[in-house]
Amino acid sequence: MAAKIMRSLVRLTLVAAFLFFSIGFVQTGIPGLGLAPAQAQSAGSVPCNWSGNISDTQFWRAIRKGVTGTVSIPDRKAGQLVQSDGDELRAFRQGPMSQFGGWLLIGSLILLGLFYVGRGRIEVESGLSGKTIERFNSFERFVHWLTASSFVILALTGLNMLYGKYVIPTLIGKEAFASLTMFGKFAHDWIAWAFILGIIMMFFSWVRHNIPNMADIRWLMAGGGMFSKGVHPPARRFNAGQKIIFWVVIVGGASLSGSGLALLFPFEIEMFAGTFKIINVFGFNFPTELSSIQETQYALMWHGIMALVMIAIIIAHIYIGSVGMEGAFDAVGTGQVDINWAREHHNLWVQEMESMDEGPVSNRAPE
């Protein structure tokens, strides 16, 4: 009898113990899984009503802020679940960068329109003589048009990537816009090489004529004679305005090319950490420890800003080289400019050419 009572007591104790631990597990969570069933993520909300060494809120916030764990695969980037800088970049690109860029481009068109209305076309004041002088030889013209045509295609396909989605789908439909943008993107990637080659050749062809000198200061002080008739400040082969365009194209083009190559070969070319180290020598405080994704993000941002600034400047160049000034286009068209045009805009260069040779000025090769 006593043994029977003992067996019943042991059974009761076992049942009680089983019930006690079962209820305990349900309340505190199943060991090994970490989360209590009632606290697992559901309906998109993050569990956050219990604390351990680190609360769930802190845990998810750390992931959201880009905390990096360790991974055993070679691609170390995989250790970071969320890289929030991408959000900031997109907000900047679709916000201030697009807005200011748009105003910059529209503003330069308006300014040129106003300039045309106020000043009109800059004429050859002494009239066309019919006698010409060679301004650019065929190689120089080839280099100019290689750079110019590639830049124009890069500008149009690039602008489409930034602004196209706001306008073009409503005109031609989403499907056609998608195909257009895909081919535009291929063109952008490949034609970039022609532009890079163009600016390298342009640099070597014209650098010796674009070293600043005192005549440039005088030319700038006189506003280049752009704003008043009858004013023609002396200039050699290139005046100060053209030298500015040349250096904008070379320095801006090199910067566009560098950031473009960093985008063509992401995670392989890293230029911004090094550039920031150099800039910080002047007292700035740019980050110099950049992850490869941050490198690509800086490249994308810089590429866009540089492109917008350069397009605005080149619009002004195209204006003055075509409708804005009589006789200018011939320089890059046939290569022969009217001698009166050359005397008005580049008198020192014409004198140099004449002093080189006593013969007729027409068809003379450039210096």
Decide whether 270 or 317 has the Cβ nearer to ligand HEM: 317
Task: Write down the least CB distance from residue 335 to ligand HEM, Å.
Answer: 10
Give residue 105's Cα distance to chain centre. 15
Q: Closest distance between ligand HEM and the C-beta of residue 252, in Å?
A: 8
Contacts of 367 (CB under 8 A, 6+ apart): 209, 237, 349, 352, 353, 356
Q: How far is the CB of 184 from ligand HEM (least distance, A)?
A: 18
Query: What beta strand segments (E) does 230-333 contain?
Result: none
Nearer to ligand HEM, 238 or 298 (CB): 238
Separation of alpha carbons 275 and 255, rounded Å: 11
In the complex with ligand HEM, the residue whose CB is nearer, 62 or 104, is 104
Question: CB of 152: closest distance to ligand HEM in angstroms?
Answer: 5
- Tokens describing residue 228: 């008043």
Mention every residue, 6+ apart, whose C-beta is less than 8 A from residue 253: 147, 195, 196, 199, 310
Q: Which is nearer to ligand HEM, 147 or 255 (CB)?
A: 147
| Contact set with ligand HEM (CB under 6 A) | 135, 144, 147-148, 151-152, 202, 238, 242, 245-246, 249, 314, 317-318, 321-322, 328-329, 331-332
Distance (Å, rounded) from C-alpha 354 to C-alpha 343? 11
User: Smaller CB distance to ligand HEM: residue 148 or 290?
Assistant: 148
Q: At its nearest, how many Å lie between ligand HEM and the CB of residue 98?
A: 22
Q: How far is the CB of 196 from ligand HEM (least distance, A)?
A: 12
Residues 153/147, Cβ–Cβ less than 8 Å:
no
Taking the least distance from each CB to ligand HEM, the nearer of 264 and 318 is 318
The CA distance from 268 to 345, in Å, is 47
Residue type (1 letter), 325: M
CB of 173 to ligand HEM, least distance (A): 30
Least distance in angstroms from the C-beta of 124 to ligand HEM = 13
Which CB sits closer to ligand HEM, 148 or 196?
148
Residue 93, judged by CB atoms within 10 A of its CB (0-12, 13-18, 19+), counts as middle
Burial of residue 342 (number of CB atoms within 10 Å: 0-12, 13-18, 19+): buried
Closest CB to ligand HEM among 136 and 298? Answer: 136
C-alpha closest to that of 29 among 51, 58, 62, 60: 51
The strand pairing partners of 48, in sequence order, are: none
Got the DSSP string for 157-181? HHHIIIIIHHHHHHHH-HHHHHHHH
Distance (Å, whole) CA 278 – CA 274: 7
- The smaller minimum CB distance to ligand HEM, of residues 89 and 342, is found at 342
Q: Is 325 helix (H, G, I), strand (E, B) or coil?
A: strand
CB of 149 to ligand HEM, least distance (A): 7
C-alpha pair distances (Å), 101 with each of 57, 177, 297: 39, 22, 18
